[in-house]
Structure 1
Amino acid sequence: MMEGNKAKKPSKKRNRAVMRSVILSLLVLAIGYTIYNSVTADDVEVLKAGDKAPDFALQDMEGNSHKLSDYEGEGVFLNFWGTWCAPCVKEMPAMDRQYKEFEEQGVQVLAVNIAQSEFEVQSFVDRFDLSFPVVIDKSKSVMTAYNIRPLPTTILVNPEGEIERIVTGEMTEQDIEGFMEEIRP
């Protein structure tokens, strides 16, 4: 019986050593990722009001291409969002109501989803019966170009194609109405 207990002790030590190695490896990876993120985040120029809005082309849920420069002469309410983002979900119905009010006045809404599946995004669009174009930034290239953190973030682009304002966080319907008024031609 003593021999059985002796055989288990080295196994426990080995298991503990393996677990410690795994935990240490994960910590090293996490620290490395954090350092990499900090270094590369500085490579992206931070946009500000007055800058020319970077052009891009993305497809909507029907396969139509939307190029930002095609909307020159109109105000563009460029909203970056995700279906998992609670503030994004809360502000979408208000954005849709205001879009219906301002669309005829030259204000366009482009909702840029960050790299989710077409199924997830289409289900979301259907659930809220959204009337404005919803595009998916599959490669996150537009998110990177605009240096988007956190979600939601809305970039207000004036009719000249310049950034009028950058809004981070959830907006009320009154905020949305005021911002659309701000970029109306």
Structure 2
Amino acid sequence: MQVRLEYDFRAQGIRLTSGVEWLDINGDGKFDLTPGSGETLRARGSAAVFEAGDLTLQMQSVDLKNNRFVLRAVPRTADHRIHLSIGSVLPDFEFTDSGGTRRHLSDLKGRFILLDFWATWCVPCMEDLPVLKKVYAEFHGKGFEILGMNGDETPEKPERVIRTMGIQWQQARFDRDLLQNRFQISQWPTMILLDEHRTILSIGEMSHLPLDGEHLPGSLRTVTGESP
């Protein structure tokens, strides 16, 4: 099994409680870098937890001198991450909307739901917003919903953008635990397309159903069965 660990030059070593960890779970000789991949995780406070078949594994120790590492099996309950794999059901989660009200993903009712992880400091995210407006106008009446998952640590800027651009879909305020620990979002923007049962249809891979602004309309027409 191949393992890659981020070296902390300040600490002059590997810190298992922080940094990125890679684990070649499927043994194909490379690390899966796609958003939501279970092979690339960031440790936050404790070593990252990987799902490998029926095992839940966590790095226990690293010996750089002898190039050895020790993994240990931990209870499955130690994994708080939301796994993103096509065909799996996304668990329900709670969030605070832009008005300060606590809500759940399951409150959104639609044939298709797009989770858009965006932030005002992310240039591609901002470039996608006008396209999302057009897509929302075209498909909302056909059961399409968007939930914006904002990455700004303070709400002032995103709320100003929402007002200025006339964005009508629901927004979730920044939640560090939800974005960084549970979803493990490291690429902005990241988009996830769900069906009415919260089954993951796409995580935006170009080889499958791309969800960026340029390709999103075509991908939605594909899943809705509409002609291009």
Query: Where do 5+ consecutive residues of structure 1 fail to align?
Result: 1-24
Whether 1:98 aligns to 2:154 is: no
Aligned residues with identical type, % of pairs: 23
Superposed CA RMSD: 2.9
Q: Which of the two has greater strand per residue? A: 2
* Distance 1:123-1:172 versus aligned 2 partners, 3 A rule: same
Which among 191, 198, 216 is matched to residue 154 of structure 1?
A: 191
* Equivalent residue, structure 2, for 1:172: 213
Q: Which of the two has greater helix per residue? A: 1
* Equivalent residue, structure 1, for 2:146: 109
Figure out how many residues of one structure are paired with residues of the other and give that number: 160
Query: Where do 5+ consecutive residues of structure 2 fail to align?
Result: 1-7, 22-41, 51-78
* Distance 1:181-1:116 versus aligned 2 partners, 3 A rule: farther
Whether 1:40 aligns to 2:48 is: yes
Q: Highest Rg: 1 or 2?
A: 1
* Equivalent residue, structure 2, for 1:9: none
Shift of 1:144: 3.1
* Equivalent residue, structure 2, for 1:20: none
Q: Which residues of 2 match residues 20-169 of structure 1 at below 5 A?
A: 27-28=10-11, 32=15, 33-34=18-19, 37=42, 39-40=47-48, 42=50, 43=79, 44=81, 46-167=83-204
Query: Is the deviation greater in 89-98 or in 28-37?
Result: 28-37
CA distance in 2, matches of 1:170, 1:142: 19
Shift of 1:97: 1.3
1:41-81 residue CA offsets vs partner (Å, 9 max, x unmatched) = 64546421001012112222223444212235521011111
* Distance 1:35-1:57 versus aligned 2 partners, 3 A rule: closer
The TM-score, its normalising length taken from structure 2, stands at 0.60
CA distance in 2, matches of 1:100, 1:154: 18
CA distance in 2, matches of 1:184, 1:64: 31
Shift of 1:34: 2.6
